Amino acid sequence: MNIEGMKTMERGGFLDNLIEEFGSKRVYENEKLIFDVTEMIEILMEDKKINKSKLAQLLSVSISNVSQMLNGTKNMTLRTVSDILFHLDERMLVSHEQLYLESEIFDYVAAPLEKESYSVCPNTFNTPKLTGDSKHKQAA
């Protein structure tokens, strides 16, 4: 969204767009996690020279079931991921990182709209943010 569009958009419309953008981000994060886990499993299978047929046998499931899990069309539970890694003599370590700072995203929503005071807010998917800091001001 450009700055001109931002100025003319009603606050309710902006919030709807923000919610829609976060919904898209949520779907992206879902797909990224599925991709990362399945890619890790496929690399481990290749390194250990275990094909889908052998993994299916170890898990007591069909080859098509393994294929569906690894191509992301069948949702794997944490137990399934753990079982797969167990048969590959591996263990998953879990960590996390913050996607964004909520206060940075919503501070500018509550602030009154001011002319020529928009800047890009870090960690908020390039969403404009109001700021009084002159180094961030840019002409509209």
39-69: pLDDT as tens digits:
999 999 999 999 999 999 999 999 999 999 9
**pLDDT value for 119:** 47
Same domain? 57 vs 87 = yes
Same domain? 57 vs 107 = no
Q: Residue 21: which CATH number?
A: 1.10.260.40
129 forms bridges with which residues in the sheet?
A: 119
**Could you tell me the residue range of the domain that residue 116 belongs to?**
98-140
pTM over 0.85: no
119 forms bridges with which residues in the sheet?
A: 129
Quickly tell me which residue has 């797909």 as its tokens. 31
> pLDDT tens digits, residue range 77-124?
999 999 999 999 999 999 988 876 555 555 555 555 555 444 444 444
Q: Is the pLDDT of residue 17 over 80?
A: no
Same domain? 16 vs 69 = yes
Same domain? 10 vs 55 = yes
Same domain? 48 vs 88 = yes
Same domain? 91 vs 127 = no
What are the angstrom distances between the C-alpha of 112 and each of 5, 11, 124?
Answer: 16, 10, 19
Q: Is the pLDDT of residue 36 over 70?
A: yes
Same domain? 4 vs 48 = yes
**pLDDT value for 1:** 47
How many domains does the structure of the chain reveal? 2
Same domain? 105 vs 87 = no
**pLDDT value for 97:** 87
Same domain? 20 vs 66 = yes
